[in-house]
Amino acid sequence: MAGEIVYADLSNLGDCSSPAGKHHAPPSCPWWHRFLLKAGALGQLILLVLVVVLSIRAYVGCKLCPQDWQLHGERCYWLSEELGNWTQGTKSCENQDSQLVVLQDKKEKEHIKSVTFRSLQPVWIGLRSQQKEWRWVDNTPFNPKMFGTLKEMEEEGCGTLKAKALEVNRCDAEHKWVCKKKPFLLYPVTPGVGEKCVASI
């Protein structure tokens, strides 16, 4: 038998009929396992949404105005104590990183009355005529459809607000002025429910 080749029958090694060779499907999970798995996934989704919402709220922050300035909406307003001409008012506002107030709408015009303590004296605003063209200090054109036409609008001059009316004055006249600027934003780490910010710093 020295030269004989021996063939082994390997067909039974992986026999599925033998206990060791059988492949069983995993037993199906009880219904409550599937329920807990779905509930856990839903809970994680809700938690993720809450984290995103709270993160956004944390970055909204508190709006703060400098001392003696009033916060209204998205802007801070300040009324000067001294009198000066339009150019002095412009420079005073610029020195405080602000500008003479540029009115965006009628609601803001109404608010300026509370800033001026309902004074009947005119206050400088950021409106000026140069070569009979009326523009705001931010270089946007005056919109007569929104605010109405100014008396003596055809003349050179500077704009004031007196009570509810916009008026034209000589730019060298002496009035108080109203400045406007963006508020400082303070970002709380964990804003509390109903937390309010102090409006001045």
Task: Quote the pLDDT of residue 163.
Answer: 78
Weakest mean pLDDT among 27-31, 53-57, 84-88, 95-99: 53-57
Sign of CA dihedral 87, 93, 98, 100: negative
Instruction: State whether 46 and 108 are in the same domain.
Output: no
Residue 82 in domain: yes
> Does residue 164 carry a pLDDT above 80?
no
Residue 189 in domain: no
Instruction: State whether 36 and 134 are in the same domain.
Output: no
For the CA atoms of the chain, what is the radius of gyration? Answer: 37
More confident residue, 9 or 181: 181
CATH number reported for the structural domain that contains residue 76 in this entry: 3.10.100.10
Instruction: State whether 129 and 36 are in the same domain.
Output: no
Burial of 89 (0-12, 13-18, 19+ CB in 10 A): buried
Residue 127 in domain: yes
Q: What are the tens digits of pLDDT across the range 118-130?
A: 678 899 999 999 8
Residue 19 in domain: no
Instruction: State whether 147 and 73 are in the same domain.
Output: yes
Instruction: State whether 84 and 145 are in the same domain.
Output: yes
Instruction: State whether 48 and 87 are in the same domain.
Output: no
Instruction: State whether 36 and 85 are in the same domain.
Output: no
Residue 55 in domain: yes
Residue 13 in domain: no
Chain Cα centroid distance, residue 133: 33
Task: Please report which residue ranges of 61-142 form alpha helices under DSSP H.
Answer: 86-95, 106-115
Instruction: State whether 42 and 105 are in the same domain.
Output: no
Give the residue numbers spanning the domain of 110.
62-181
Instruction: State whether 91 and 35 are in the same domain.
Output: no
Instruction: State whether 45 and 86 are in the same domain.
Output: no
Q: Are 125 and 175 in contact (CB under 8 A)?
A: no
> Does residue 69 carry a pLDDT above 90?
yes
> Does residue 153 carry a pLDDT above 60?
yes
Burial of 63 (0-12, 13-18, 19+ CB in 10 A): middle
Through-space distance between the first and last CA atoms of the chain, rounded to whole angstroms:
106
Weakest mean pLDDT among 5-14, 36-45, 143-152: 5-14
Instruction: State whether 50 and 116 are in the same domain.
Output: no
Burial of 173 (0-12, 13-18, 19+ CB in 10 A): middle
pTM score above 0.95: no
* Maximum average pLDDT range among 12-26, 139-153, 157-171: 157-171
Token duo for residue 155: 């003349």
Instruction: State whether 68 and 55 are in the same domain.
Output: no
Mean pLDDT, the chain, integer: 79
Task: Quote the pLDDT of residue 7.
Answer: 57
Angle of CA points 56, 58, 63, to nearest 5°: 110
For tokens 């004296």, the residue is 121
Using DSSP, state whether 192 is helix, strand or coil: coil
Task: Quote the pLDDT of residue 170.
Answer: 93
100-125 mean pLDDT = 85
Nearest by Cα to 100 from 118, 123, 126, 133: 126
188-200 mean pLDDT = 50
User: Which amino acid is located at 69 in the chain?
Assistant: W
